[in-house]
Copies of this chain bind each other. A is one copy, B any other.
């Protein structure tokens, strides 16, 4: 029987299966320790409260919860988002027209791509960078302007230098925005410093650019001081802020938030109309009623405490098992879900992966987070799901894998 060869679009021909998905295929096998996944612990979700509210709003508000919503999102959830923006960021003075609710942050990234990026346009991203942003933007065929993401945020000098080149080439209008995950970046765990946030806004002002600040992890701070958001510093004229309820509440509701200038929100609403018409009314209203009745920032405190403890354990384990390897380093994040561990120069965590797999320990090689795939000596290690015991056991196995890899390469 012949198999029909479909005549896909060029975009479809470029779409590849996620490297992470392939790598983590065996991460759930018995006895394995996985530092791979970045999903929150389901035990931290307020299931009893959500169960009760869902039952109520389906009985009493069915005319809303089971019907189409408006594309902009549930107005009652937007009310709650405006309150949270004030509480979390100290951002005030915004109205409903500044907010769009999306199906997770991923949709916000995709809609941003639609409303800003034409084929050949430029977008500034980090190395390493959040993979979901790269894949959303990539569908619109931009050229990525890649700047090193250091231990205090993006390399501003490198960004300025590359922007200058684009400006000299007369293409500055094609540079659409600078993308940055401002707090506890996925994958590096790095928080961009206040100085660098200000510098980013200066660069944006100088070249009349937008900054897209993505902040899914900011509320998961377990130590150190809150750093003012780029949006708070730069305002909606200069900054688009993305957020999500996936880490503060739970991912299953798929609720992302765009905070932006009204004209940008308007365009994104039109793009969303053609993309999925509207988000599910039920999940939006569920989040709205939850936020009305409970203090979500109080509710996540135990989760934050849990992550803090696990992060410290992972740092201790790394000190124990990798402290003697000269040139090895790791970030020590003040929040979020990830530690970024870098092996000495010349090592390749993708090559090492098969040794790790043999030792039943999993991580994500740094290569997965580079806008243009290149070998990397770094790896993302998530501490949110494994137990404390698993963290120590996993890092121990990682050292074994590292030693085996070293021997196989003839390195000492």
A62 lies within 8 A of chain B by Cβ: yes
Q: Which residues of B contact A51 (CB under 8 A)?
A: 54-56, 58-59
Q: Which residues of B contact A238 (CB under 8 A)?
A: 4
> Once the chains bind, are B267 and A12 in contact (CB under 8 Å)?
yes
Instruction: Choose one: B42, B103, B115, B250; the contact of A8 (CB below 8 Å).
Output: B115
- Closest CB of chain B to A174's CB: distance in Å? 9
A251 lies within 8 A of chain B by Cβ: yes
> Once the chains bind, are A274 and B39 in contact (CB under 8 Å)?
no
- Closest CB of chain B to A6's CB: distance in Å? 6
Instruction: Choose one: B16, B140, B270, B281; the contact of A15 (CB below 8 Å).
Output: B270
Beta-carbon contacts under 8 Å, A215-273 to B? 237-238, 246, 250-254, 261, 263-264, 267, 270-271, 273
Other than the known A9-B115, A12-B270, A39-B68, what 12 A-B pairs have Cβ atoms closer than 8 Å? A6-B267, A12-B116, A15-B267, A50-B58, A51-B58, A103-B280, A135-B274, A136-B274, A252-B280, A275-B275, A280-B280, A282-B282
A373 lies within 8 A of chain B by Cβ: no
Q: Which residues of B contact A138 (CB under 8 A)?
A: 274
Beta-carbon contacts under 8 Å, A295-342 to B? none
Number of copies: 2
Q: Which residues of B contact A274 (CB under 8 A)?
A: 15, 106, 110, 132, 135-136, 138-139
A392 lies within 8 A of chain B by Cβ: no
Instruction: Choose one: B39, B110, B210, B264; the contact of A67 (CB below 8 Å).
Output: B39
Q: Which residues of B contact A48 (CB under 8 A)?
A: 59
> Once the chains bind, are A45 and B17 in contact (CB under 8 Å)?
no
A100 and B201 CA atoms in complex are apart in Å by 42
Interface of A is mostly: helix
A17 and B210 CA atoms in complex are apart in Å by 24
Mark A residues whose CB is within 8 Å of B. 3-4, 6-12, 15-18, 39, 42, 45, 47-48, 50-52, 54-56, 58-59, 62-69, 102-104, 106-107, 110, 114-118, 121, 132, 135-136, 138-140, 173, 176, 210, 237-238, 246, 250-254, 261, 263-264, 267, 270-271, 273-283, 286
Q: Which residues of B contact A132 (CB under 8 A)?
A: 274, 277
> Once the chains bind, are A254 and B280 in contact (CB under 8 Å)?
yes
Known: A51-B59, A254-B278, A280-B253. A17 touches B270 (CB 8 A): yes
In the complex, residue of chain B having the shortest beta-carbon distance to the beta carbon of A102: B276
- Closest CB of chain B to A150's CB: distance in Å? 27
- Closest CB of chain B to A35's CB: distance in Å? 17
Q: Which residues of B contact A56 (CB under 8 A)?
A: 51
- Closest CB of chain B to A404's CB: distance in Å? 32
A275 and B56 CA atoms in complex are apart in Å by 31
A139 and B274 CA atoms in complex are apart in Å by 8
Q: Which 5 pairs, one residue from A and one from B, show the smallest C-beta to C-beta distance?
A: A51-B58, A55-B55, A66-B252, A66-B250, A47-B62
Q: Which residues of B contact A64 (CB under 8 A)?
A: 252
> Once the chains bind, are A173 and B7 in contact (CB under 8 Å)?
yes
In the complex, residue of chain B having the shortest beta-carbon distance to the beta carbon of A118: B9
A366 and B185 CA atoms in complex are apart in Å by 50
> Once the chains bind, are A47 and B42 in contact (CB under 8 Å)?
no
Q: Which residues of B contact A278 (CB under 8 A)?
A: 104, 254
- Closest CB of chain B to A248's CB: distance in Å? 13
